[in-house]
């Protein structure tokens, strides 16, 4: 079995077409994720690429796949902290053949710098970065096909795992090492695509550059953009769409190569991203750190043996389930320390059994936003309800009904930074009381914040092990029975002693340990 994973930097509402006629052979998920390595459960203590909150080079996916005989290949961007000065000692382990982009040139579209298998850096000033990556992919794919054919002829098993990660449609980032400054500009693109999207503008949804801001304190204090700034963001959006066209073309060419080699129907192909990238929603300019819908909801498309065709699933999922999913597709025994569940992608699995997912952001919200506090959130979804509950390290709480309010403009509950409840909506979903709608999600988030293994997979069971009931329900609707009100009300609120840039237990307030609340 072969897995081919395309990591597209950002997937926008227009321009990310999944290419040609192959798009109707896939199953697509809107996938909500946890940002900045927060997609890993916190018992790993990996919430960033920077020390002391990062570090996952000795025990992660390619290492595990190597243990069961997979050949693993990677081309493109992998981590920002691998530079031309430190790449030899910080080289990502476990891959059989690599061509990694190196900083400070990773996000330069016309000065991409690669190191093949840890060799000397090679600059490409003459060609567009995504096109260079495409060339490298084609050559590597030809080698994989030849190697597969040779091994099959001699009776050897073949099992490649192939990852590719172009930077489109990331901003173009130039680092001036002499003046110690970073210059960020619009994504660059090939001249062959410049005639496209001339009249396209950013979607003007209800939360676009709003007249009346809502939400947490720092959002309410943002100024509305003037028309000139809106025009600039429209141009930025068009540049992103232009930039994505080279990735679409590259993907289409890879499909054709696999089809020509009679391999297409034997391969699982996954097409996804690491985050969304909103522009001027909730007055937030550009960025990816707010945890609102546009930041965390993006496409996760897969095609391959046994996958339903031309289906869109509303299953709620996140990066924490990818290891389980890959292992299941490859028929590999799960690691005992995995914290997620496999995403149901095969035809026999399309039930929606995840009823919630945790989402979070640690540290600063990148250049586009400046400094904002840490934020943690839950997505609670099932038949009849779709709720978004979040808490900030400032003590603020937001709750939205995503069915009635998909753009998150009318909060059901808002608690400010002074622990005052500013408003309660009169339109709470059926069977929900104001008290229950706060206390039960808080209990779930408190456990998930520091969960491990089975706790992460079956949180309600572990929550109720502390009251001796060991209940088996798996969604919040069951927790709203009035007989549990006193129990949930007794659980302390998720809180932080301060707002650090990573997962620091000493900076947490209440913690969940050994099935009890401390």
The per-residue pLDDT for 234 is: 92
pLDDT of amino acid 297: 81
Helix (H) or strand (E) holding 516: strand 516-517
Q: What would the two tokens of residue 74 be?
A: 């990677």
Residue recorded with tokens 């869109």: 312
Of 17, 20, 15, 19, nearest to 200 (Cα)? 15
Q: Measured between alpha carbons, how far is 448 from 460 in angstroms, rounded to an integer?
A: 10
What's residue 459's pLDDT? Answer: 85
Instruction: Give, in order, the Cα–Cα distances in Å from 408 to each of 71, 208, 420.
Output: 44, 11, 20
Residue 208 in any domain: the answer is no
Question: What's the total number of domains in the chain?
Answer: 2
Instruction: Show the tokens assigned to 176.
Output: 């001036």
Task: Decide if 492 is inside a domain.
Answer: yes
Same domain, 41 and 180: yes
| Coil vs helix vs strand at 278 | coil
Whether residues 334 and 417 fall in one domain = no
Q: pLDDT tens digits for 317-363?
A: 777 788 888 888 888 888 878 888 888 887 666 555 667 877 777 66
25 & 97 share domain: yes
Whether 84 maps to a domain, the answer reads yes
349, 381, 411 - which closes a domain: 349
Helix (H, G, I), strand (E, B) or coil at 188: coil
Q: What are the backbone angles phi and psi of residue 241, rounded to the nearest 5°?
A: -65, -40
Half-sphere exposure of 43 (CA within 13 A, CB side): 15
Closest among 159, 158, 185, 157 to 172, alpha carbons compared: 185
Of 281, 285, 265, residue with least CA distance to 207: 281
Q: Are residues 8 and 132 in the same domain?
A: yes
Distance CA 319, CA 337 (A): 15
In a domain, 207, yes or no: no
> Is 358 part of any domain?
no
3-state secondary structure 440-496: HHHHHHHHHHCCCCHHHHCHHHHHCCCCCCCCCCCCHHHHCCHHHHHHHHCCCCCCE
Cα 359 to Cα 99: distance, rounded to the nearest angstrom: 31
Do 174 and 55 share a domain, yes or no?
yes
Residues 389 and 340 grouped into a single domain = no
pTM across the whole model: 0.85
402/336 same-domain check:
no
Same domain, 13 and 135: yes
Taking phi first (over 0 means left), then psi (-120 to 50 degrees means alpha), and beta for anything else, what does residue 350 get?
Answer: alpha
**Would 224 be classed as within a structural domain?**
no
Residues 117 and 253 in one domain: yes
167 and 306 within one domain: yes
For the chain, which residues score pLDDT lower than 70?
1-57, 177-180, 347-354, 362-376, 422-434, 466-472, 474, 500-505, 513-518
Give the integer Cα–Cα distance in Å for 7 and 76.
9
How many C-beta neighbours within 10 Å does residue 91 have? Answer: 16
**Residue 163 Cα distances to 72, 74, 160, 316, angstroms:** 8, 5, 10, 24
How many whole angstroms separate alpha carbon 393 and alpha carbon 445?
13
Containing 116, the helix (H) or strand (E) segment is strand 112-116
Question: 71 forms bridges with which residues in the sheet?
Answer: 160
Is residue 227 situated within a structural domain?
A: no
- State the pLDDT at residue 93: 87
Given 334, 349, 364, the domain boundary residue is: 349
d(CA 167, CA 115): 16
The residue with tokens 């072969």 is: 2
Question: Which is nearest to 10 in space by CA: 306, 264, 322, 236?
Answer: 236
What number of other Cβ atoms are within 10 A of residue 430's Cβ?
A: 7
Residue 262 forms part of a structural domain: yes
Quote the CA–CA distance of 447 and 463 in Å, as a whole number: 7
The CATH number of the domain where 263 resides is what?
3.40.720.10
Dist. CA 77–CA 101, nearest whole Å: 5
* Containing structural domain, residue 12: 2-187+242-272+296-349
Domain check: are 37 and 163 in the same one?
Answer: yes
Same domain membership, residue 476 and residue 343 = no
């Amino acid at each position: 079995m072969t897995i081919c994973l395309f990591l597209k930097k950002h997937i926008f509402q227009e321009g990310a077409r999944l290419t040609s006629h192959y798009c109707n052979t896939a199953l697509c998920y809107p996938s909500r994720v946890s940002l900045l390595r927060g997609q890993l459960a916190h018992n790993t203590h990996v919430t960033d690429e920077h020390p002391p909150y990062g570090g996952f080079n000795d025990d992660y996916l390619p290492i595990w796949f190597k243990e069961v005989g997979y050949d693993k290949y990677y081309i493109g961007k992998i981590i920002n902290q691998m530079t031309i000065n430190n790449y030899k000692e910080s080289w990502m382990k476990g891959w059989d053949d690599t061509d990694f982009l190196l900083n400070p040139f990773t996000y330069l579209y016309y000065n991409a710098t690669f190191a093949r298998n840890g060799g000397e850096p090679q600059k490409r000033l003459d060609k567009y970065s995504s096109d260079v990556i495409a060339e490298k992919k084609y050559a590597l794919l030809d080698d994989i096909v030849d190697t597969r054919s040779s091994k099959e002829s001699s009776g050897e098993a073949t099992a490649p795992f192939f990852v590719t990660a172009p930077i489109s449609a990331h901003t173009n980032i130039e680092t001036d090492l002499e003046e110690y400054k970073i210059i960020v500009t619009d994504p660059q693109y090939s001249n062959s695509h410049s005639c496209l999207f001339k009249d396209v503008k950013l979607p003007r949804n209800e939360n676009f550059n709003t007249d009346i801001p809502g939400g947490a304190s720092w959002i309410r204090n943002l100024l509305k953009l003037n028309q000139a700034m809106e025009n600039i963001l429209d141009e930025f959006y068009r540049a992103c769409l232009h930039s994505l066209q080279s990735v679409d073309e590259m993907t289409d060419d890879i499909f054709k190569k696999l089809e020509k080699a009679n391999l297409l129907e034997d391969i699982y192909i996954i097409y996804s991203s690491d985050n969304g990238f909103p522009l001027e929603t909730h007055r937030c300019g550009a960025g990816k750190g707010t945890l609102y819908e546009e930041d965390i909801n993006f496409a996760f498309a897969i095609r391959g043996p046994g996958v339903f065709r031309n289906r869109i699933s509303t299953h709620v999922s996140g990066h924490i389930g990818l290891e389980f999913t890959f292992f299941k597709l490859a028929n590999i025994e799960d690691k005992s320390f995995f914290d997620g569940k496999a995403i149901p992608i095969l035809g026999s699995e399309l039930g929606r059994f995840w009823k919630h997912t945790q989402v979070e952001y640690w540290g600063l919200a990148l250049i586009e936003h400046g400094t904002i506090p840490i934020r943690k959130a839950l997505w609670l979804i099932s038949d009849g309800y779709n709720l978004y509950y979040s808490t900030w390290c400032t003590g603020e709480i937001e709750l939205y009904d995503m069915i009635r309010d998909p753009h998150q403009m009318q909060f059901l509950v808002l608690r400010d930074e002074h622990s005052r409840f500013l408003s309660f909506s009169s339109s709470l979903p059926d069977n929900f009381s104001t008290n229950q709608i706060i206390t039960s999600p808080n209990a779930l988030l408190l456990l998930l914040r520091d969960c491990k293994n089975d706790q992460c997979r079956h949180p309600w069971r572990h929550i109720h092990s502390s009251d001796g009931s060991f209940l088996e329900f798996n969604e919040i609707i069951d927790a709203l029975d009035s007989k549990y009100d006193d129990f949930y009300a007794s659980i302390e609120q998720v809180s932080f002693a301060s707002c650090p840039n990573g997962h620091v237990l000493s900076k947490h307030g209440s913690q969940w340990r050994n099935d009890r609340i401390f």
